[in-house]
Amino acid sequence: MHAEASRQLQLYLQYLETEKRVAENTSTSYQRDLLRFTGFCSEQKLDNWTDVQVNDVRRYIAARHKDGIGSKTIQRELAALRSFYRYLLKTHQLASNPVQHVRAPKAAKKLPKVLDVDQMTGMLNVVPDSILEIRDLAMFELFYSSGLRLSELVKLDTTDIDFAEGYLRVRFGKGGKQRQLPIGKKALEAIKAWLAVRTEVNELALFISAQGRRLTQRSVQLRMDRWGKKNGIAEHLHPHMLRHSFASHLLEASQDIRAVQELLGHSDIATTQIYTHLDFQHLAAIYDKAHPRSRKA
């Protein structure tokens, strides 16, 4: 593509970071998706963004689908393209959006994996045998206690925890949104135990490495995987599984989907409704075991 098209793309990426203040993960994935589409445009001899037509976008999506790319990934790529073209329209750099009505192929919804209450209890009722495991237990308790995203947990500072009132402040939620969350008793005790043994360093981060630096998301993922293997948990443990478990168990006990939506930080309740399907699965399993006309002979 022409140099002007590349310049427009770079200005948009700067706009995402400085004005929209999107999450780092979102900015990185949008950049990757848009650069991939730029390569497609170059192959098709489309030199400017104004040259792209609806059929060009549909050909691109069809090619991605033919290559075995999943519907969810294609939906994200289309979201990146729509956002970019809305920016070009807003800044009067073109007159129409060729992506507006293009849809990704539909895919069957996959329910998130969760641990049941007994599995969660077994995972957390472990006596840590090192300073790092004391830290790890505090992280995992907090994931399950407050339903945090991984990106939110690693950005927490010690000043974000209010021990007297029993809540934490999420300053860097998805889309730059802030929210306040309650912390359970077990999680507060685990955090206090960690702060009592952690190395005194000039670092505000709540969770730090052995070298005294803020933990990365990858480090947390690896530590959780290690924890699961060491304690004989059959499921592959990952941070989002604890967030899913938090939401599923809370909804099952309270039946208050609006409260769960607020705690998770979902802007659209439709995102939270996936957990109603999980709750129904649980009820259906109980029905199959208990109902006289459902039980197998």
Composition of the chain by helix, strand, coil, percent to 5: 60, 5, 35
Does residue 208 sit in helix, strand or coil? strand
**174 is known as an active-site residue:** yes
Task: Check if 149 is active-site.
Answer: yes
Question: Is 240 considered catalytic here?
Answer: yes
Pick the catalytic residue from 135, 243, 244, 249. 243
Task: Report the 10 Å Cβ neighbour count for 245.
Answer: 23
Task: Assess whether 266 carries a catalytic annotation.
Answer: yes
The Cα angle at residue 281 between residues 278 and 286, in degrees rounded to 5 = 135
Burial of 3 (0-12, 13-18, 19+ CB in 10 A): exposed
CA distance 205 to 214: 6
- Judge whether 291 counts as a catalytic residue: no
Is 287 one of the annotated active-site residues of the chain?
no
Return the amino acid letter for 279. D
Question: Nearest 5 degrees, angle CA 175-CA 181-CA 182?
Answer: 170
Selecting among 64, 135, 149, 155, the annotated active-site residue is 149
| Among 103, 229, 240, 289, the one annotated catalytic | 240
Q: Which of 174, 214, 238, 282 is catalytic?
A: 174
DSSP secondary structure letter of residue 214: B
Catalytic residues: 149, 174, 240, 243, 266, 275
